[in-house]
Amino acid sequence: MALFRYLTFEGGLATLKNGTLKLTPPREFNDPFDMHPSWRVEPSEEMLQQFYVNEGYAEQGISYEEFKIAALNDPNAYRQAAQTEVYAGMNKDFGAVCFSRRKDSIPMWGYYCSDQTGTQNGMVVEFDETHDGFRQAFGPWLHDVRYVFTRQAFTNMGGHDFSIFYTKCLQWSHEAEARLIHPLKWDGVTEGHIGDRRGWFLEYPKASVKTIYFGIQMKSEDKRVIAGGLQQWGFSDVRLMELHPHPDHFSFEQKAYQPSQDLGASQSTNKNTMTEA
């Protein structure tokens, strides 16, 4: 089955040139509820003691017994502290790579393929989920997202139910997301920076890349950078396709990218511009 990754030109270039996928911690998601479940765990004595120490109540002159009584009398306050700690742990230990099951989502082209000026200059990279190397490396971590009406609840401290990683609000169902959740501290994960922010990057088998779809506003010179660099970056047999707006419907048409035609059109445009000047 196909997995589609929506990217800006800069993001797509880095993905292809470096042979890595960016792992995004939950705190960087655009959905504030994503991987941030509600809390339905009754506090144990051990958990209360841990929170008492972690929150520094002793340094504030509050005894453990005072803290315990206050926590049990105000479950909302305790619940918020517990949610915050679990969420912080998720951000420390895990990152996500978000794919889609569709390549033609108009909102997603706008969300994820636009540069800082709002121009949709990006691309969609298609991965083959059935490729042996891809399946062996990521199969256990990759699942389709389930979209629900009711917010997912965290019910078992120390349990092994990871469904909260793959559950989102129904209003996001148009993304048809398939999500790869991966530990940040793992073989094949490297740490770097994107600007002044830390980033984590996961190696993928390059033979799993099947098609690259150029967006309708992608510049000709950017298309040539991608087309000309693939072999140098270790890719082979990758189809290059251009998307164009359908003349009558809210949909895309696609055609094979022809570098020679693109170069000729670019030279003609430059010539006309120079003549008019």
Would residue 56 be called left, alpha or beta, if left means φ above 0 and alpha means ψ between -120 and 50 degrees?
Answer: left
Would you say residue 256 lies in a domain? Answer: yes
Provide the domain limits for residue 209: 2-33+93-276
* C-alpha closest to that of 231 among 261, 209, 202: 209
> What's residue 272's pLDDT?
33
Residue ranges of the chain whose pLDDT lies below 70: 75, 77, 156-161, 261-277
Would you say residue 44 lies in a domain? Answer: no
Give the model confidence (pLDDT) of 37-96 as tens digits.
877 777 778 778 877 887 788 888 899 888 888 877 876 767 777 777 778 888 899 999
> What's residue 100's pLDDT?
97
Task: Give me the half-sphere count of Cα atoms (radius 13 Å) on the Cβ side of residue 58.
Answer: 7
User: Counting beta carbons within 10 angstroms of the beta carbon of residue 90, is it exposed (0 to 12), middle (13 to 18) or buried (19 or more)?
Assistant: buried
> What's residue 276's pLDDT?
32
> What's residue 266's pLDDT?
46
Would you say residue 23 lies in a domain? Answer: yes
* C-alpha closest to that of 100 among 59, 129, 130: 129
Q: Provide the sign of the torsion angle of the four alpha carbons 218, 222, 224, 226, taken in this order.
A: negative
Domain count, the chain: 1
Would you say residue 75 lies in a domain? Answer: no
Would you say residue 83 lies in a domain? Answer: no
Would you say residue 159 lies in a domain? Answer: yes
The crossing angle, in degrees rounded to 10, of helices 220-229 and 9-18 is 10
Would you say residue 238 lies in a domain? Answer: yes
Helices and strands (H, E) in the chain, number of each type: 8, 15
* Pairs from 251-257 (Cβ < 8 Å, separation ≥ 24): 251/104, 252/104, 252/216, 254/213, 257/214, 257/223, 257/227
Would you say residue 231 lies in a domain? Answer: yes
* C-alpha closest to that of 241 among 226, 251, 231: 226
Cα(first)–Cα(last) distance of the chain, in Å? 51
**Residue-wise burial string across 219-258, b where 16 or more C-beta atoms lie within 10 A, e elsewhere:** eeebbeebbeebeeeeeeebebbbbeeeeeeeebeeeebe
- Residues paired with residue 96 on neighbouring β-strands, in sequence order: 24, 181
- At 45 the three-state DSSP class reads helix
Neighbouring C-beta atoms of residue 164, cutoff 10 Å: 18
Whether 274 and 246 have beta carbons less than 8 Å apart is answered as no
Give dist(CA 198, CA 188) in Å, integer.
17
pTM as predicted:
0.83
Give the model confidence (pLDDT) of 225-238 as tens digits.
999 999 999 999 99
Q: What are phi and psi of 55, to 5 degrees?
A: -85, -5
* C-alpha closest to that of 219 among 21, 19, 14, 10: 10
> What's residue 37's pLDDT?
80
> What's residue 222's pLDDT?
95
Give dist(CA 145, CA 164) in Å, integer.
10
